[in-house]
Amino acid sequence: MAPPDRTLSPEENQRRERAIVMVFAEMERLARRTIGPDRRDDYVSNLLCRLIKNRPGPRRYTADDEGARAYLVRGLRNQARDAERQKVRDARWIATPKDRDTGKPRTARDEDFVDLETPDDILRQAEQDRLEAEAKRQLFDEAIPVIAKELQNPTGFLANIADLRAIFEDDLSVHAIVMREGGTDATYKTVRNRVYQRHKRTRAYLLEVPRNKPHDVPRLTAWLSKAGLAPELADEVRRLAHEVFAPRVDRAATTMSPEPVS
């Protein structure tokens, strides 16, 4: 996709305009599924204009329709995230409201107890919960066991996946793993780094293009392409994997105690 320009040939302009119209229609459809109605049109417009100008290069993970849709969904979510961040920045310039009775700034405790949930909200949340639960099942019970089978000895890979999942779910910390593996004050940094390198290899195996097959796609992407999941579910599996396997580093910790905050 690239911007039309009157200085180009009519054929080239038509080609560019057709691409824009096609992507815009798909983005509107995807936005209805993934973005709330409030500023949906703004996000779609912003993303379209930015993509036209950036003309992203041909990349393997947008090579098929499924990958391209996931790419656009990610782009829409990022526009929403940017707007949220802008709202937070703007809020810093607005004075904290004061309580009418005391004249002191209102805090979260002073807020009125108003139940904002409507039946529609409850239904939407239930649907989201169901989608998340199914995505978790697909990722951990279907995709990862299949991907692990390609390894000669999948035990270590699966153990690392279990650790990363437990860290994500706050059932475990990197600090606890270092303790479990016999780290001492003297060896803390070494053991922590060993754990990090192991997690790095695990992420690489699952999410990166295999180094020995540079023209291939990441193993999780390949699994998703074959699995034929509904687009909403495939998106949710991607989002979940993104969150679960994001590195979480106890940067401040260099000794065994006290337990650092992850």
Partner 1 sequence: MNRKQLIESQLRALGITPEMLGPVEHLPLQATPDYGALVEVQDEFHLGATRAQARDVPSFGKAFRQAMSWLKKDAVSQDDTEPTTMLRRHASMAPAPPESALLPAHSSVMDALGLRIEVDPAGRDLRVISREGGAFQVRPDLHAVEAQVADAAGIARVTLQQDGRFLIESAAGSPMVVGWRDSRNLLLRPVYPWAAPPVEEWTTMTTDRWMQDRLSQGARADAWTRTSLAGQLARLCEPESRDVAALIASGRLQDLVSEVELAPRRWARALPPSEKAALEQQAVRRAEALGDDLTDLFDTLSADMAEASESWAHLCHRRDDIESVRLLLKEAGTGAALDAALEALDRTGRAVRINLEASLTSDDERLRRVALGDPSAWWGSTDFEAHYF
Tell me the closest approach of the beta carbon of residue 1 to partner 1, in angstroms.
11
Bond before 258 cis per omega within 30 degrees: yes
Check binding of 246 to partner 1 (CB under 8 A): yes
Piece of 109-117, 142-150, 151-159, 194-202 that binds partner 1 (CB under 8 A): 194-202
Piece of 29-37, 131-139, 162-170, 192-200 that binds partner 1 (CB under 8 A): 192-200
Tell me the closest approach of the beta carbon of residue 248 to partner 1, in angstroms.
7
Measured CA to CA, the distance from residue 123 to residue 237 in angstroms comes to 21
Size of the site for partner 1 (CB under 8 A): 71
Piece of 55-63, 101-109, 140-148, 149-157 that binds partner 1 (CB under 8 A): 55-63
Which residue number, 106 or 254, has a Cβ lying nearer to partner 1? 254
User: 102 to 161, contacts with partner 1 by CB under 8 A?
Assistant: none
Asked if 210 and 249 count as a contact pair (C-beta separation under 8 A), the reply is no
Nearest to 82 by CA among 38, 44, 43: 43
Check binding of 89 to partner 1 (CB under 8 A): no
Q: x/- string (CB under 8 A) for partner 1, residues 56-75?
A: xxxx-xx-------xx--xx
Residue count of the chain: 262
Q: What is the DSSP letter of 143?
A: I
Instruction: Please select the residue that binds partner 1; options are 29, 33, 53, 130, rule is CB under 8 A.
Output: 53
Q: x/- string (CB under 8 A) for partner 1, residues 8-47?
A: -----x--xx--xx--x---x------------x--xxxx
Nearest to 75 by CA among 27, 37, 38, 36: 27
Residue owning tokens 């969150």: 243
Secondary structure string (H, E, C) spanning 57-103: CCCHHHCCHHHHHHHHHHHHHHHHHHHHHHHHHHHCCCCCCECCCCC
